[in-house]
Amino acid sequence: MFNTEKPDLEKLPSSAQLLRSTIIAAISAAVILVTVVLPAEYGLDPTGAGRVLGLTEMGEIKQELEEEAEQDRERHGGDQSSRLLNGIFGLFVGTAEAQEQWRDTITFSLEPGKYTEIKLVMAEGDKVRYMWVAKGGRINFDLHAHASGKDHSYEKGRGATGGEGEIVAPFAGDHGWFWRNRDSSSVTITLQLEGDYSELVQSE
């Protein structure tokens, strides 16, 4: 049987010390909230420290992308089939040489402040490989999917000049990009696609 020594009561923290530690912890948490969390997550910088640390821009980016995603969801409140019928226009197919590697090549330009969407109609499990390049400036984008009652986010970006990857559809529906030009000059985007999709739609 083990005998344990009784703690020395004089070495234990007093109530005043515990209260002081609690107050210090609360103040530290408040400082972190104001100087780090608010700037990085919401773009709010009441002290100016977030701007110095580069966190405020991060928060502004997140809020801007959320706003654009919300605008996109509002624009897709109607019936999917009617959107597809009303949205088909302005698709530019690449040359025969490009088609040897890519199924479709689309090139379009966005003036400052303008936006557009490119959607692929895909079945569950379909795969699409893509590559895109922005020339003349930078572009904001939100690569996502939606169907009746379903939403999925693949990737978001701000101030981007290109990207590549693969889309694997988690459900049947529209899968693609919402693009917005936040730059001060016109941006030309070339998007190349290859894979499984039944329809390609561009809309504004």
pLDDT, one tens digit per residue, over 160-188 is 999 999 999 999 999 999 999 998 999 99
Residue 122 pLDDT: 96
Rounded Cα distance between 51 and 70, Å, is 26
The continuous run of DSSP H or E covering 119 comes out as strand 115-122
Closest to 182 (Cα-Cα) out of 82, 57, 78: 57
Which amino acid belongs to residue 39?
A: P
50 contacts 59 by C-beta, under 8 angstroms: yes
- Residue 156's pLDDT is 94
pLDDT at 47 over 80: no
For residue 74, the model assigns a pLDDT of: 65
Q: How many residues does the chain have?
A: 204
Q: How confident is the prediction for the chain on average, in pLDDT?
A: 80
Of 17-26, 48-57, 84-93, 112-121, which has the strongest mean pLDDT? 112-121
Q: What integer pLDDT is reported at residue 89 of this predicted model?
A: 39
Of 1.10.3720.10, 3.40.50.10470, 2.60.120.680, 2.40.50.100, the CATH number of 76-203 is 2.60.120.680
Report the pLDDT value the prediction gives residue 42, as an integer from 0 to 100.
74
Structure tokens at 23: 């107050």
CA 186 vs CA 25, 98, 108, 136, 141: distances in Å: 50, 24, 10, 6, 15
pLDDT bucket at 82, cuts 50 / 70 / 90: very low
Q: Are 154 and 128 in contact (CB under 8 A)?
A: no
Give the number of other Cβ atoms within 10 Å of residue 168's Cβ.
Answer: 14
Which residues, at least 6 apart from 203, have a Cβ–Cβ distance to it below 8 Å?
83, 86, 87, 88, 89, 116, 117, 119
Confidence of residue 73 (pLDDT cuts 50, 70, 90): low
Q: What was the pLDDT predicted at 179?
A: 94
Q: Residue 169: its pLDDT value, please?
A: 96
Residue 97: its pLDDT value, please? 44
What is the phi/psi pair of residue 168, to 5°? -120, 115
Domain map (residue ranges) of the chain: 15-70, 76-203
Question: For the residues 118-132, what does the mean pLDDT come to?
Answer: 96
Strand partners for 173: 122
Q: What is the pLDDT of residue 95?
A: 42
